[in-house]
Structures are given as structure tokens and as C-alpha cells.
Amino acid sequence: MAEQFFIYNNTFYPVSTAVITPENRSLRYGDGLFETMKMVNGKIMNKDFHFERLFHGLHLLKFDIQKSFTKNFIEKKIQELVAKNKHENVVRIRLMIVRGNGGIFDPENLFPNYIIESWALAEEMQLNENGLIIDVFPDARKSYDIFSNIKSNNYLPYVMAGLYAKENKLNDCIMLNTHNRVCDTVIANIFILEGSKIYTPPLEEGCVAGIMRRWMLEKFDLKDYKVIEKKLSVDDLLNADEFFLTNSIYPVRWVKDFSGRIYENQKVKEIFKYIVKQIK
């Protein structure tokens, strides 16, 4: 296999290269954010949504954004990395922004330092045949504040939920907020079906502002279905007709088993086919 590279602040490095020092604020405090994007045939899917979320997060975290640090600049660097790694067709991109070095009260500066990674993906999008097995993560509750909806490098509750899922042979875990209502999962947003209505928690519940979640709310237009934001309890999930998750890499994944409740996927299959046709 050919050597793979990543970009750190305009420079290509082999993937085994260490570029972060112990003084880095992202390493010390989780000071930064990230985007996970999917590129198909040289085009970033939902590119505008990704860059809107990225720059909203950068402003929220008070980064000092230079005039040259634009979405066109970032996209150009992504294209350069994909070409150097010889990735074609379908590619996963991870863009991470970190603050740089310094203590908690005295960062050296507020400039964004960036890391871009890329991985080749399978070309054909398919609905997961077996269905996901998921449950609630019991050990943390997510609060809602102005930082709750961003893709933060400070990801500890989700990291621990991921470990819990692995230990308990689950595919994913549901995060609850401080009101014990449904928030999101470790790597996805949540959607349930009741008849022709598709429900997802509103951002005020503390969920990550997912790109496919936004696409579902703004662009999903399958006849007879309606997507609605609604506060959801665990009981709402248990009483749903069907259940699926979304993220930028896997637009729809069917949940088969939540806390022992078994779901069918007839409507999810229809929704998946529609979404794949639209986003292609």
C-alpha cells in the first residue's frame, strides 16, 4: 500500500509523523473543533452546510481567523491531499482545527491550526442489512449551552459512550441530556418514524448540529412524509414504528434493536433510496 499523508498547516507529513507538542491546547483542554466530510468524485457533499457549521464554530470559539483562511483555501488543501494520497471516487475527510500552544489563560495566539486527513471509502452506498443494536449510555448527561451543537474536540462523554458500546457489543449509544430526554448518539443524529411523520430532537435539546440532520429538515421532500423537530423521550423511541440514524458518511443507518425493542425497516428503506438518489 502506498504511503499515506496528512496536512498540518500547509505541509504534507507521512501519517506516522508527530506534529503536536505537549503544550498544545487541544491536547491539554480539547480546545478546537472538527468536521467529517464525504467527497464523491471530487466534490464535497453538502459542502456549504459543512463550511457554515465550521466557521460558525470558529467564531463561537473566538478563533482569530486570517483573511486567507477561507472555505476556498480549505477546499483547495483537501483536494491537494486527496490527490497526493491517490484517493478516488468516495473519500472520507477529517478536518481538525486546534488553537495551538499555551496555558488555559494564556494561549500563544488565537490562530486556527489545521490538520486534514483522508481515507478511501467503499463506492456504493447501501443500507445496513443487519440493522444496528443500540442502547442508552447511562454514565453521562449532556447539558445545553451555546457550545452544545458544535463538533468540539472536547468529546469526552461521547468517547466514554463509544467505549461503553464496545464493551457491551453495541453498534452505538444514545446520549441523553440533563432532562433525561434524547439528544443524539456517539456519531449520529436520531430520527424516528410514527406513521408518515419523522421526528428528530431540536438543537435546543443539546444535540450536535449534524449536516444530514440539517439536510433532512431543509431539503427532504419525499411525498407523504414530514420531518418535524420534537423533544423525544426514551419511551418515544420505544414506541416508534421505525428508527434510523444519520451522519455525513452514512446518510441513513437502520436501527433494528434499541434496548430490546425490535424495529422493521420498510419505510427506512424507502427513505434511504430517496436520499441516495437526491444526494448523488
- Which of 91, 120, 149 delimits the end of a domain? 120
Going by pLDDT thresholds of 50, 70 and 90, the confidence category of residue 211 is very high
Residue 105 above 70 pLDDT? yes
Residue 34 and residue 148 in one domain: no
Q: Which grid coordinates belong to 138?
A: 447511562
Predicted pLDDT at 157 = 95
Residue 66 and residue 165 in one domain: no
pLDDT tens figures, 69-89 = 999 999 999 999 999 999 989
pLDDT tens figures, 229-252 = 999 999 999 999 999 999 999 999
Going by pLDDT thresholds of 50, 70 and 90, the confidence category of residue 163 is very high
Residue 264 above 80 pLDDT? yes
pLDDT tens figures, 170-196 = 999 999 999 999 999 999 999 999 999
Which domain range does residue 90 map to?
Answer: 5-120
Predicted pLDDT at 233 = 98
Residue 92 and residue 142 in one domain: no
95 belongs to a structural domain: yes
Going by pLDDT thresholds of 50, 70 and 90, the confidence category of residue 2 is confident
Beta pairing class for 90-98 and 113-120? antiparallel
Domain CATH code at residue 227: 3.20.10.10
> Of all residues in the chain, what percent carry a pLDDT higher than 90?
95
Structural domain count, the chain? 2
Residue 83 and residue 185 in one domain: no
Predicted pLDDT at 124 = 78
Residue 10 and residue 44 in one domain: yes
pLDDT tens figures, 114-160 = 999 999 998 778 999 999 999 999 999 999 999 999 999 998 999 99
The pTM of this model reads 0.95
Q: What is the mean pLDDT of the chain?
A: 96
Going by pLDDT thresholds of 50, 70 and 90, the confidence category of residue 1 is low
Angle of helix 211-218 versus helix 47-60 axis, rounded to 10: 120
Residue 66 and residue 203 in one domain: no
